[in-house]
Structure 1
Amino acid sequence: MDIAKSYDYIVIGAGAAGCAAAARLSEEATQSVLLIEAGRDDPWIWLKIPLGIGKVLVGNRALWRYETEAEPELKGRKIFWPRGRVLGGTSTVNGMLWVRGDPQEYDHWAENGCDGWGYQDLLPSFKAIETTQLGADAYRGRGGPVNVVEYGPQDALNLAFLQACAQAGIPSTSDYNGATYEGAAMLQLNTRKGLRHGAREAYAHPALSRPNLTVLSGAKAQKILLDGRRATGVRILGPRGEVEYHADKEIILCAGAIDSPKLLQLSGIGDPDHLRSVGVTPLHGLRGVGRNLRDHIHTRLSFRCSEPITLNDVMRNPLRQVLFGARYLLRRDGLMASSTSTAHALMRSDPTKTRPDVKLQLHPLTSSDARNPRKLVFDKFPGFGIGTFPLRPQSTGTVMITSPNAEAAPAIAANYLSAPEDLDIAVAAVKMALRVAHQPALGGLMAQQLRPAPSAKSVKDLEDFVRETGTTSYHPIGTCKMGQDDLAVVDANLKVRGIEGLRVADASIFPTMPSSNTHAPSILVGEEVARRIRSE
């Protein structure tokens, strides 16, 4: 065993939270920081151009290609769950949608034992992340590392969608990351000059010149090393074989909602009965490790467009592709500067609800299988989609290792729709999307309803549509939840309960969905763990 030198802090996983945590900790020049990443700093152009996500998702180059077990409530389908295997993690392969979340949900966390995680507590950290010209100074950041812009230009399809939302009774909001979360708006994106501006670009690259930060890429964490009840280091498998790195102060686990619980379990931290059943010696019992998994189930409706203004038209015409690319090179805006999502609406499925519980999202493309994990085939006619999902899913699943072999993928059971209310809200979301699509504002562009078929009118028909087509929104969270209950894995300072020198800081610590896309909240966790460590 090749024993390497020690570091003050070891950060495992260079994703959204890991890059933020390592960059902030290394700002203190006297502290040495090791950032470990299984992927590499890949210069691939499709990881930089936002629309390149279509290329990334169908290949292996920058992804862990996970999939769930057969989902009982989704007709036994296995759902593709890609995660980033590259510096920046999933923030380098995601949709770049910048949505902080529902302020009331953060307040809910604080009310349930997560001290310091209320919205007003977190607002300074949210502001410290951003550089944006959007919104009011009271809510938005002006000098942070992540550049945030609004999608533009507002073309005919986007304007019609927003007008249709208003006609359907959905209010508009000038800044859903500011004073008013609820409402319809153009999407905000973490891009800069038309290029992706994720955790790699915003945090890791600027920090690489610091002599006290070491980034170890191509290194797969195998096990966290324990000395009694203290975490002392990590064993990795890299180009030089197995190597151990030791932490003099703390280890911060930032491997994400799938790999963080996996690594804890491989290290003997988890449900003792399950660990024994797969041949791992339990060293510290925490029944919640790998439980409380949640994801947004995404159901997308498709419509034929009466005008050739969608991505379907561009991708079927070589000349238009050339013009499309030329416009992007000259102006760095439009669809190539987005990941195919351009506008959204955060809304209530029922007027009696006290806050939004549904999201609608406009997509200027259609496909008979829009989330095929190996190939995206555009329809041979102009088309647009409206994606839908319940914001606060109650269904919970698990991520559990199946052997002591660190190279083996864990068993992922999302258990979509296992909570009946999730299906009710998913159907309500589909109904609202249909209502928006049939408003007069979209009448000139919506030539035909395709999916679900116009004949699908009953609740049973729409339930079947959700079960047959629903898939991931790429938002897994919760598997190392924060809190004080029996399933809590970390406390409010993100310290693993009962273990010294070990914290978890990524989307796995969310006790519930922050009611949004999960990228901005994940970066927030990285900022928060560094702030809390430094304040101690």
Structure 2
Amino acid sequence: MSSKKLVDYIIVGAGAAGSALAQRLGANPHNRVLVIEAGGTDEHPHHRMPAPYAQEPTRPRYRDQHAPQPLAVRRLGHRRMGGLIAGGSTAASGTGRGGEADHDMWETPGVTGWNRARFLGAYTAMERHAARATGPHDDRGRQPAEVVSPPDAATELWIRALARWGIDTEEDVDEGPEVTADLPRSMPTGAWTSTFRTLARRRARRRNVRVRSHCTARRILFDGTTAIGVEAETPRGTTQFTARREIILCAGAVGSSLLLERSGVGDPEVLTTAGVHLVAANPAVGSNLRQRRGAAFTLRLDGVPDRRDPKPVTPAARLKAKAGKVLRRAEAQRGGDTSVLAVLDSQGEASGPDMELLFTSTPVADRDGDGAGGTGRPEEATVTFCPQSSTSVGSLHITGPTLQDPPRLVPGYLSTDQDKERTVAAFTRAREILATEPFASVMTETFPGTDVVDPEAVLRYVLDHGVTVDAVGTCALGTDGVVDDELRVRGTHRLRVADASVMPALTTGDTEATSMAVGWIAGDILRNANTRSR
């Protein structure tokens, strides 16, 4: 066997968690680490420009495709839940830690060590923050500083509208029951920086870490119930890699659970129906899918300074405009659009936040890919609302043994009365703020339109044209979960999962930061396991 195909550790997925884990394992020069990534690299300048980050998840080449089940309203085509690019979803989004109590809920009888203190230690080790960044920091941490762009004119008007509701601007959204804060991003030089670029790319100085892009894991290879390698598809055909120590799945809430099932680990009934030989029974695989469902208002802005340039009418003016466009593109790489995140009480009672409201001073295409929403014109802006804690549960399972067999996705959106009530309340609260001066006088709601008012119409809109923000839970931690508190896949040996799929519940913030921390903690677990085995 080629020495390039025989390594100590195989990490499947170069997203938030996989990149952090590669950094931890690669710190030991004696470890030979292979990272398998289905997508390409994030080298293209487009992935480093801040402005397009909101549109990036909508591009089909960077998303997984799924065969959905009918929802309460109609059959919904899905294009989401996986960033098919090195860096994963962090190549196209920011990061946020979530609330203080988010991680303490993970620690239950039989699951120890997964609490806020442990995550805070991981965050501190990973991050260093620039001015106005949030939380304690370690100046020698690995993650570049999170910085924010100065607000543009439209954002300033939005902030003033929030202030009329008593929603103050703070450095951190944890500062009060209803606050707003600039959304920090990993842009220490003004260009977007994904976790892959900032963490795993240290392999340039570490010959013991290698990344294979455009390499899709088909199945895990087993000797009995012991994981020994990975079979993968590459542009040159099928190949196999062997791990001397362990295999860690960091392919996300979609990729990790589906890979387990294609490899024979999962619910015996699901595997039998899909025509997959059973290796280890683990009925929880693919269940407990938790997703956050919200929707966006598309707005046309009029009378806001510097929203668009006049058209040139002479050859000289056209040449000057072309040169200006090049300069503005460079400027966009340094600054880009601004986004402001508010955490609110959907009832307006300030008893505690239960929704997020994100203002972005650029248009955002419809993320479920049905063509509705904005036109992408520069005079558009977007306000996205999303309830924080979803109680609805879905599932995701394979339908056949190959990568070409579309998975069976049952989203479970708004399947509980609590989620329906919170969604309608969040929609109503968002529209109240949209109607507040001074922002109201410069905007016109173009989608969904003012005729969407009653609860049934709101729910239909959210189901038909909504945004699925995060997905977790398909390989959840727990006494009855897919993995134990050391992230080992139950029923197998030398196989672990370390990504968003192990989260038993959604965090109140974006899941990227938590995924990075899970990968970092997994590195500590593996290092300790190796120490004990010596």
TM-score between the two structures when normalised by the length of structure 2: 0.89
Worse overlay, 368-377 or 186-195: 368-377
Q: Which amino acid aligns with 2:82?
A: R
Going from structure 1 to structure 2, the CA distance change for 1:156 and 1:371 (only over 3 Å counts) comes to: farther
Of the structure 1 ranges 100-109 and 404-413, higher mean CA displacement relative to structure 2 is found in: 404-413
C-alpha contact (below 8 Å) 1:127/1:142 kept by paired residues: no
Post-superposition Cα deviations, 1:438-459, rounded to whole Å, max 9, x if no partner, equal 223424433x343343344433
| Map of 1:84 onto structure 2 | 83
**Matched residue, 1:413:** 410
Query: Are 1:11 and 2:11 an aligned pair?
Result: yes
Q: Contact 1:482/1:509 (CA < 8 Å) preserved in 2?
A: yes
- Taking structure 1 as reference, are residues 181 and 189 closer, same or farther at Cα in structure 2, changes over 3 Å only? farther
- For structure 2, the 5+ residue unaligned runs are 313-317, 530-534
**Aligned with 2:211: secondary structure?**
strand
Shift in CA distance, 320/175, structure 1 to aligned 2, threshold 3 Å: farther
How many angstroms does 1:135 deviate by? 5.2
Partner of residue 249 from structure 2, selected from 250, 253, 258: 253
Summarize the Cα distance change of 1:468–1:138 in structure 2 as closer, same or farther, 3 Å threshold: closer
CA distance in 1, matches of 2:362, 2:175: 31
Structure 1 residue 329 and structure 2 residue 326: aligned?
no
SS of the residue corresponding to residue 522 of structure 2 reads: helix
Asked whether the 8 Å contact 1:57–1:373 carries over to 2, the reply is no
One of 480, 483, 487 as aligned partner of 1:490: 483
1:479 aligns with 2:474: yes
Q: How far off its partner does 1:506 sit?
A: 0.8
Are 1:315 and 1:378, in contact at CA under 8 Å, matched by a contact in 2?
no
Q: Which runs of 5+ in 1 are unaligned?
A: none
Instruction: Mark the CA change 1:267 to 1:141 in structure 2 (over 3 Å): closer, same or farther.
Output: same
Asked if the contact 1:359–1:391 (Cα under 8 Å) also holds between the matched residues in 2, the reply is: yes
Partner of residue 155, structure 2: 158
Report what 2:532 is aligned to.
Answer: none
Cα deviation, 1:344-373, whole Å, max 9, x if unaligned, reads 101222366864220001022457857646
Structure 1, residues 136-157: CA drift from partner, whole Å, max 9, x if none? 8962343322224343212222
Is 25-34 or 455-464 further displaced after alignment?
455-464
Q: In the alignment, does 2:505 pair up with 1:512? A: yes
Contact 2:226 2:494 in 1 (8 A): yes
Distance 1:431 1:158 in 2: 21
Q: Which whole-Å CA distance do the structure 2 matches of 1:367 and 1:315 have between them?
A: 23
Is the Cα–Cα contact under 8 Å of residues 79 and 472 in structure 1 kept in the other structure? no
- For 1:407 and 1:465, the matched residues in 2 are separated by 31
Amino acid at match of 2:51: L
| Residues in 1 aligned to 2:428 and 2:385: alpha-carbon distance in whole angstroms | 10
SS at match of 1:11: strand
Q: Percent identity?
A: 28
C-alpha spacing 1:233/1:135, structure 2 compared with 1 (3 Å): same
Q: After superposition, where does 1:343-354 map in structure 2 within 5 Å?
A: 343-350=340-347
Aligned CA distance change for structure 1 residues 385 and 410 (closer, same or farther; 3 Å): same
Q: Quick one: which of 257, 267, 271 aligns to 2:267? A: 271
CA distance in 1: counterparts of 2:10 and 2:55, whole angstroms? 33
Distance in 1 (CA, whole Å) between partners of 2:242 and 2:472 is 28
The aligned residue for residue 226 of structure 2 is 230
Alignment partner, residue 48 of structure 1: 48
Residues 460 and 59 (structure 1 numbering): CA distance in 2 closer, same or farther, change over 3 Å? closer
Cα-to-partner distance string for 1:314-365 (whole Å, 9 max, x where unaligned): 699998786465245257444xx35xx6101012223668642200010224
- Structure 2 counterpart of 1:190: 186
Q: In the alignment, residue 480 of structure 1 is paired with which amino acid?
A: C
Instruction: Find the aligned partners of 1:137 and 1:296 in 2 and give their Cα distance.
Output: 24
Residues 222, 229 of structure 2: 8 Å contact kept: yes
Indicate conservation of the 8 Å contact 2:104/2:115, yes or no: yes
Is 1:145 aligned with 2:146? no
**Letter matched to residue 221 of structure 1:** A
Residues of 2 paired with 1:320 and 1:376: CA distance?
29
CA change 1:295–1:138 in 2 (3 A) is closer
Q: Which of 207, 210, 214 is residue 214 of structure 1 equivalent to?
A: 210
Relative to structure 1, the CA distance from residue 265 to residue 60 in structure 2 (aligned partners, 3 Å threshold; closer, same or farther) is same
1:453 partnered with 2:449: yes
Shift of 1:89: 2.6
Q: Partner letter of residue 77 of structure 1?
A: L
1:497 maps to a residue whose letter is R
SS of the counterpart of 2:103? helix
Change (3 A) 1:54 1:348: closer
Deviations 1:506-534 (A, max 9, x none): 11111110112121111111111001211
Q: TM-score, normalised by structure 1?
A: 0.88
